[in-house]
Every structure is written in structure tokens, then in C-alpha cells.
């Protein structure tokens, strides 16, 4: 344990957490001492799972992993990262469409809080097509989402639909 642990802040909606997110968190743990998974309390988005449900699912996926924390935040992400003591924001990248958006977001965040750095990890090939939105759609239509989300998320989706 270093005296100055490297902490990364990983923000998102996680509605629900997918294997793509899990992979980014696990790989983030190889680079950082601690990863704070931060659930955005974004009122404008209508979610399938409540914030508490989403938080609990992430906590259950990472049961026993001492270096993963799950928190809720509202307001500006840069302020929440700073308050959590994280000098780095972790984000995942799938393809060109993610890149466009993430590039804009990182540039805006840099403007808001210059000392905060954004680190991107490229998705694993298997998770390239995985998004929470697509998982919700497929599950709502009765499709098989095994292999796209952790087993406990699959169960929760089966209960919802
Ligand atoms: P948002 O609600 O902003 O779209 P998400 O909660 O879906 O965010 O995701 C949070 C972060 O995880 C984003 O950086 C997103 O690009 C990344 N991410 C989501 N799905 C994947 C995936 N399949 N592979 C890699 N990164 C992903």
C-alpha cells in the first residue's frame, strides 16, 4: 500500500451493470489502487432499475473486492470526483460513436477542472456490442442476455420482465 493511493472515479448510469462495465472496472484495478464506481443521480433519464437496485447489483458483483467502492453522486461529475479524492476519471471506449462523445466530455471536464485527468480503456472484443440500453431492449423482448451481464443481473432482468 503506497502512502498516496491511486484512485480512479468511474462514473455512469449502470442501468444495469454489464460485462463491459465489469471488464473496465477489473482492468482499472490493475492500474489503480482503488476504483470508485459512481452512479449518476440523473433525474432526466428514465431508468429501468432504481438507483438503490443498481448500487446493490454492482456491490454484489464486486463482493469481497475491497478496492471497489460504489457511490451515488449528483451535480457536476468533476466536483464529485474531486470530493471523492480521485485525480483520475476512468471511462470505457467501444467505437467511434463513444469516441466522439467521450472526447467532448473529457474536453469539457478538463475545462471545468484542469487537474482532473481522464483515462480511457478500450473495450474487450467480446463486449464491443454490449450496452445497458441494448441489454434492456433485448431482455424486455424476451431475448437471451446471458454472457452480456453478470448472472445476478440476468436474474434481476428476468424478474423485471
Ligand atoms: P452513460 O450512461 O454515460 O452512457 P454508462 O453507464 O453506459 O454511461 O457507461 C459508463 C462508462 O462505461 C462509459 O465510459 C461507457 O463508455 C463505458 N462502457 C459502457 N459499456 C461498455 C462496454 N461494453 N465496454 C467498454 N466500456 C463500456
Rounded distance between C-alpha atoms, residue 48 and residue 50, angstroms: 7
Q: Report percent pLDDT > 90 for the chain.
A: 92
The CATH superfamily of 7-160 is HUPs (3.40.50.620)
Q: In Å, how far are 56, 59, 61, 132 from 65, measured between CA atoms?
A: 14, 9, 9, 23
Q: What pLDDT digit, counting tens, does each position of 74-83 carry? A: 999 999 999 9
Ligand 1 centroid to residue 29 C-alpha, Å: 17
Domain ranges of the chain: 7-160
pLDDT tens sequence across 126-144 = 999 999 999 999 999 999 9
Ligand 1 probe mutation, 8, 11, 12, 105, most atoms within 8 A of CB: 12
Q: Give the torsion sign (CA, 88, 89, 90, 94).
A: negative
Amino acid at each position: 500500500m503506497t502512502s498516496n493511493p491511486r484512485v480512479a472515479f468511474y462514473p455512469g448510469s449502470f442501468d444495469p451493470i454489464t460485462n463491459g462495465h465489469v471488464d473496465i472496472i477489473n482492468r482499472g484495478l490493475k492500474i489503480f489502487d482503488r476504483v470508485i464506481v459512481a452512479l449518476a443521480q440523473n433525474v432526466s433519464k428514465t431508468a429501468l432499475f432504481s438507483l438503490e437496485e443498481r448500487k446493490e447489483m454492482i456491490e454484489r458483483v464486486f463482493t469481497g473486492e475491497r478496492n471497489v467502492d460504489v457511490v451515488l453522486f449528483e451535480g457536476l461529475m468533476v466536483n464529485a470526483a474531486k470530493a471523492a479524492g480521485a485525480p483520475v476519471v476512468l471511462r470505457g471506449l467501444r467505437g467511434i460513436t463513444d469516441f466522439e462523445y467521450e472526447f467532448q466530455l473529457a474536453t469539457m471536464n478538463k475545462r471545468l477542472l484542469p487537474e482532473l485527468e481522464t483515462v480511457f480503456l478500450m473495450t474487450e472484443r467480446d463486449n464491443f456490442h454490449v450496452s445497458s440500453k441494448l441489454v434492456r431492449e433485448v431482455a424486455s423482448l424476451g431475448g437471451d442476455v446471458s454472457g452480456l451481464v453478470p448472472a445476478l443481473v440476468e436474474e434481476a432482468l428476468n424478474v423485471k420482465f
